[in-house]
Amino acid sequence: MPEKKEYKVIGTRPIRHDGVDKVTGRALYGADFHTAGLLHGRVLRSPHAHARILSIDTSRAEAYPGVKAIVTAKDLPDAADKVADLGEGAVHLKYLCDNILASDKALYKGHAIAAVAATNAHIAEEACALIDVAYEVLPPVLEVRQAMEPAAPLLHETLKTGSLGETAEEPSNVASHLQHKKGDIEAGFAEADVIIEREFVTGTVHQGYIEPHNATALYNPDGQLTVWCSTQGAFTVREQLTEILQYPISKIKVVPMEIGGGFGGKINVYVEPVAALLAKKTGKPVKVLMNRADVFEGTGPTPASFIRVKMGATKDGKLTAAQTHLAFEAGAYPGSPVGAGAMCIFAPYDIANVLIDGYDVVVNKPKSAPYRAPGATNAAFGSETVIDELAKELNIDALEFRIMNGAKEGVKRADGPVFPRIGFIESVEAAKQHPHYTSPNGKKHHGRGVASGFWFNIGLASSVSISVNPDGTINLVEGSTDIGGTRASIAMQAAEVLGIPAESVNPSVVDTNSVGYTAVTGGSRTTFATGYAAYEAAQDVKRQLIARAAKLWEVDEEDVQFADGEFSCINGKEAQLSFHDLSARLGETGGPVVGSAAVNPPGAGGAFATHIVDLEVDEDTGKVQILRYTATQDAGKAIHPSYVEGQIQGGVVQGIGWALNEEYIYNAEGTMTNASFLDYRIPTCLDLPMIDTVIVEVPNPGHPYGVRGVGEVPIVPPPAAIANAIYDAIGIRMTELPMSPDRMLKAMGKI
Amino acid sequence: MADKKQSPKENAAEKPGKTTISRRNFLKGVGTGTVAAAVAPTVLIGAEKAAEAQMGEAITSATIQLNINAKTYEVEVEPRTTLLTVLRDGIDTRGNHVDLTGAKLICDRGECGGCTVMVDGTSVYACMMLAIDAQGKQITTVEGLAEGDTLHPVQEAFIQHDALMCGFCTPGFVVSAASLLSENKKPTLEEIKMGLSGNTCRCGTYPFIFDAVKTAARKM
């Protein structure tokens, strides 16, 4: 159970260890990496959304001065029917390899076809234009409902729907069908006095990290492959490389550079294997950078979806039944986050009868990648809008309705797990009592909306080692790439154990040869799981230092106590040493002290959030302006409150972008027509009000300090909260994302 | 994007200087190869008539001097070389890397502000300025803001307010904020938002960035 004591470091706001590096421009991100003899790689991408590749002729490009090597799918090992194990479920190796370099078919505009290494990036780009590819262009499938039609063109002739353990006879674009059942859905709706059923459509959006993907690879003559890249997880890059290249894991070292945002999109590899192939062919280090259009067209967006939600409640406000049909676009290869959406959609509520059907559907768009609480935002847009409509219909305050039906400890989710102690009700109560919610709201065309969200968070493996320096500081070595301040939030957990200030910890994020296995920075797991490992490694250090003090004082270890950074003798002998002073005496007591821990904690503890938004609808232009925003969230225990606030604000900003502006706009040929930051508009300073945050702390019983992951859940409520506020403002239910000015004007009947 | 991010007026080519190359003659080099022309920025192609590009003495590369962070760099550039390319990938004539990678290559077309530097005190997208146009001007990158070990007040305030998450857009924001405060000592919140509207942060740290700029303004 979490410790019930006052903390010295946890809950404070020390400055980040990497602050100076990052404000002075010294921090080195993947593209900033230089090494002697560097060649530059460039990827040729398909101009067609769906085409058979008939032939690839590289001879003209090979003859171009400055070109050193060209690779195509033929340079990848034969994937055949092999299955790749990436630690998080089996994947068809062919799908994995084909997404790196297409072998038989190009399945989206921007699909990588070939790559060139040359003496500079311009030459590589020029040579790409000299590669002759013959295509048989096929009709593209660009929308999930269209893709599910029996007559739809097939992306994969061999893909057959896996449904509840059975495999269909005929090929289809539906990769899989999942179902979660609880209670008796028919009986549940029969009990209801009010039933609302609505359909929702969400657009394709991108994670939108500012830093484009990058990788530099080098093969040594001894076969050692080193890859420098910006990634959410160096170890997952290593796993993917070993599968895709069919190369021994012990011969691959991945060096994580600083990373310029990921939000889920920098877990899958794209240019890393390409750089490795080019490096092998040339014997030189090769750097491959994406440009902005490559990122939009060639990397994982989060999927568009079609969602049907039906919910029923009694007239005294009890939810009796909830049903949903979730159809998610996987992109070119199976693997949409529909499973996660299905886990989250009704999770905030205690509903006796639930039926959830999810469909993973391939379409001619880039293979989808995780994006901050993947699947949950799409799902919540549907469910939280219907909840709002039910509350209005029943004339019950929308937050009160959530409290009346809110999930708490002991409630079983439709997908199986039983909640431990969670803080959903507390997050809603905090919103209900917030001055924002109790303030007046009644101007014309102004509206207020609320919505809640759930994300389950994940645990997974993390390793940390700590060495003690003679000046009373520690070096903390970790494998979690730091995307938003985790050097500090992990260091603080070790510092708390050892009774030293956060500033006395020197955290380092190191390569895959230098620390134990550590899963990705994703799933809101890093402060929870790597923090847990830091806590355990610090405990290891503490135990060893107690033994050293006992040796110095010639007493039993049981007679040494450690509290508040001081070792003291408790058998009557007068002896006391601070952590600092004992650190200086390691040489005389047996040598260096190194503590380590590898953990795989099961109790990640789910996160809940409730948001309130005020907005104004411009009746003439259809523009929605956010006026005020408040987000409450159960963080379990906020290690560094500024980072929790920052994560909440960041999630809200992305959620607002998703709700109001962001979408891939495709033409009939399947070309994204807005593959730039000018046309794919992410929120800037001018789009946002200040965002109030309220951190609720219901400690997670699965972590020594009660930490729950915080990074993902804040993106879940915004689209629904904004849609509910638009209804409040103008009396129209928006059921399509984004709620851009043109859709608003259409909904208002003005165009 | 904010209007203030327009490149300063192109007057470098007219200024005398021992390595100054005329922009007009230099651009003639662009048309010498069809492949090169196909991938060179369209703005360049459009700037000169194709016929003219075939005439006269085409220069395909030239050595120019740039003053970056109060230091003179002599670099060889092509007509299409942007200031950003020189900062990040440039090699001076003695073989030393310029290696100022604080300004980031992100969109390469003036959409995001991640490559913002100051040119003669005004914030400029380094991806939107040709290297040749930066001759004769004082270029300050994020690496040049601190004075020795003393950080610029904006840098201090960004750390203090934790106005960064991943930190990738941070150099651009820091330079934009420093430029804003050099022009407007006491900006209002609205002025801060306008001043930084040419920079994007996907981590959404805007509220902390506003706090940092306010704090820096008080200290400057």
Residue B20 pLDDT > 70: no
Residue A215 pLDDT > 80: yes
Taking the Cβ of residue B51 and every Cβ of chain A, the question of whether any pair is shorter than 8 Å is answered with no
Q: Are residues B68 and B137 in the same domain?
A: yes
Residue ranges of A 103-122 with Cβ closer than 8 A to chain B: 122
pLDDT tens-digit series, residues A704-723: 999 999 999 999 999 999 99
Average pLDDT, chain A: 96
B154 CB neighbours in chain A (<8 A) are 23
Q: Are residues B90 and B130 in the same domain?
A: yes
B169 closest CB neighbour out of A20, A210, A289: A210
pLDDT value of residue B120? 96
Specify the DSSP class assigned to residue B119.
E
Residue B6, domain member (yes or no): no
The count of domains in chain B is: 3
Residue A130 pLDDT > 70: yes
Q: Are residues B37 and B102 in the same domain?
A: no
* B-chain residue closest to A263, CA distance: B203
Which of A39, A122, A210 is the mutation pick for testing B, counting most B CBs within 10 A?
A210
Residue ranges of B 5-34 with Cβ closer than 8 A to chain A: none
> Given an 8 Å threshold on Cβ–Cβ distance, is B143 in contact with A13?
no
Query: Which residue range(s) make up the domain with B68?
Result: 62-144
Last-in-domain residue among B85, B120, B144: B144
CATH number of the domain residue B68 falls in? 3.10.20.30
Work out whether the CA dihedral A345, A350, A356, A360 comes out positive or negative: positive
Q: Are residues B75 and B53 in the same domain?
A: no
Task: Specify whether the CB–CB gap between A738 and A659 falls below 8 A.
Answer: yes
pLDDT value of residue A85? 74
> Given an 8 Å threshold on Cβ–Cβ distance, is A210 in contact with B114?
yes
Shortest CA gap A291–chain B (Å) = 7
Residue B170 token pair: 């941070």
Question: How far apart are the C-alpha atoms of A432 and A399, rounded to whole Å?
Answer: 6
One-letter amino acid for residue A478 of the chain: E
Residue ranges of B 78-107 with Cβ closer than 8 A to chain A: 78, 80, 88, 97, 99-107
Over residues A541-565, mean pLDDT: 96
C-alpha angle with apex A323: A321 to A328, nearest 5 degrees? 160
Q: Are residues B107 and B181 in the same domain?
A: no
A631 CB neighbours in chain B (<8 A) are none
B167 closest CB neighbour out of A27, A31, A688: A27
Tell me whether domains A33-138+211-260+266-298 and A459-599 share a fold.
no
Strand order in the sheet with A576-578: A560-563, A566-569, A576-578
Residue B12, domain member (yes or no): no
A169-181: burial string, b at 16+ Cβ within 10 Å, e else: eeebbbbbbbebe
pLDDT value of residue A327? 98
Shortest CA gap A90–chain B (Å) = 31
pLDDT band at B22 (very low <50, low <70, confident <90, very high): low
pLDDT value of residue B27? 60
Residue ranges of A 686-745 with Cβ closer than 8 A to chain B: 686, 688, 690-691
Q: Are residues B66 and B53 in the same domain?
A: no
pLDDT band at B31 (very low <50, low <70, confident <90, very high): very low
Q: Are residues B30 and B89 in the same domain?
A: no
Write the DSSP assignment of A316-379 as a string of letters: TS-EEEEEEEEEEEEESSS--THHHHHHHTTTTB--SEEEEEEEEEE-SSPPP---SSTTHHHH
> Given an 8 Å threshold on Cβ–Cβ distance, is A642 in contact with B174?
no
Residue A58 pLDDT > 60: yes
**What phi and psi values does residue A513 have, to the nearest 5 degrees?**
-90, -10
pLDDT value of residue A364? 98
Residue B116, domain member (yes or no): yes
pLDDT value of residue B36? 39
Bridge-based pairing of strands A462-468 and A594-599 is antiparallel
Residue B4, domain member (yes or no): no
Residue A61 pLDDT > 70: yes
* A-chain residue closest to B96, CA distance: A36
Residue B85, domain member (yes or no): yes
Residue A230 pLDDT > 50: yes
pLDDT tens-digit series, residues B173-198: 999 999 999 999 999 999 999 999 99
> Given an 8 Å threshold on Cβ–Cβ distance, is A649 in contact with B207?
yes
Over residues A680-692, mean pLDDT: 91
Residue B33, domain member (yes or no): yes
A483 CB neighbours in chain B (<8 A) are 165-166
Residue B10, domain member (yes or no): no
pLDDT band at B43 (very low <50, low <70, confident <90, very high): very low
pLDDT value of residue A84? 81
Question: How far apart are the C-alpha atoms of A718 and A722, rounded to whole Å?
Answer: 6
Over residues B6-23, mean pLDDT: 47
Q: Are residues B127 and B166 in the same domain?
A: no
Over residues B54-79, mean pLDDT: 86
pLDDT tens-digit series, residues A263-294: 999 999 999 999 999 999 999 999 999 999 99
Q: Where are the domains of chain A?
A: 33-138+211-260+266-298, 301-457+605-747, 459-599
Q: Are residues B25 and B78 in the same domain?
A: no
* A-chain residue closest to B103, CA distance: A25
Residue B149 pLDDT > 50: yes
Over residues A657-669, mean pLDDT: 97
Identify the CATH number of the domain defined by range A33-138+211-260+266-298: 3.90.1170.50
Residue ranges of B 116-135 with Cβ closer than 8 A to chain A: none
Over residues A690-708, mean pLDDT: 96
Q: Are residues B139 and B66 in the same domain?
A: yes
pLDDT band at A352 (very low <50, low <70, confident <90, very high): very high
Q: Are residues B82 and B115 in the same domain?
A: yes
pLDDT value of residue B32? 42
> Given an 8 Å threshold on Cβ–Cβ distance, is A677 in contact with B107?
yes
pLDDT value of residue A571? 87
Percent of chain A with pLDDT over 70: 99
Over residues A582-606, mean pLDDT: 96
Residue in this structure with the two tokens 């409520």, named with its chain if needed:
A717
pLDDT value of residue A81? 77
> Given an 8 Å threshold on Cβ–Cβ distance, is B104 in contact with A260?
yes
**Strand boundaries in B103-145, DSSP class E:** 116-119, 122-125, 138-140
Residue B51 pLDDT > 80: no
pLDDT value of residue B11? 41
B207-211: which pairs have CB atoms within 8 A and are 24 or more residues apart? B207/A649, B207/A688, B207/A690, B207/A691, B208/A642, B208/A646, B208/A649, B208/B161, B208/B162, B208/B163, B208/B164, B209/A685, B209/B158, B209/B161, B209/B163, B209/B173, B209/B177, B210/A685, B210/A690, B211/B157, B211/B161, B211/B163
CATH number of the domain residue B193 falls in? 1.10.150.120
Enclosing H/E stretch for B63: strand B62-68
pLDDT value of residue A688? 83
Residue A218 pLDDT > 80: yes
Question: How far apart are the C-alpha atoms of A302 and A317, rounded to whole Å?
Answer: 34
pLDDT value of residue B56? 53
Residue A2 pLDDT > 90: no
Identify the CATH number of the domain defined by range A459-599: 3.30.365.10
User: CATH number of A301-457+605-747: 3.40.50.1370, 3.30.365.10, 3.30.479.30, 3.40.50.720?
Assistant: 3.30.365.10
pLDDT value of residue A536? 98
Residue B8 pLDDT > 50: no
Residue B70, domain member (yes or no): yes
> Given an 8 Å threshold on Cβ–Cβ distance, is A23 in contact with B174?
yes
Question: How far apart are the C-alpha atoms of A107 and A52, rounded to whole Å?
Answer: 9
pLDDT tens-digit series, residues A419-467: 999 999 999 999 999 999 999 987 889 999 999 999 999 999 999 999 9
pLDDT value of residue B58? 64
Classify burial at A6, counting beta carbons within 10 Å of its beta carbon; exposed 0-12, middle 13-18, buried 19 or more. Answer: exposed
One-letter amino acid for residue A253 of the chain: K
How far the first Cα of chain A sits from its last, in Å, is 58
Shortest CA gap B150–chain A (Å) = 11
Work out whether the CA dihedral A190, A196, A197, A202 comes out positive or negative: negative
> Given an 8 Å threshold on Cβ–Cβ distance, is A653 in contact with B146?
no
B111 closest CB neighbour out of A259, A485, A677: A677
> Given an 8 Å threshold on Cβ–Cβ distance, is A650 in contact with B146?
no
Average pLDDT, chain B: 83
pLDDT tens-digit series, residues A564-578: 899 999 988 889 999
Residue B57 pLDDT > 50: yes
pLDDT tens-digit series, residues A63-109: 999 999 999 999 999 887 788 877 656 788 999 999 999 999 999 99
C-alpha angle with apex B126: B120 to B132, nearest 5 degrees? 75
Shortest CA gap B75–chain A (Å) = 16
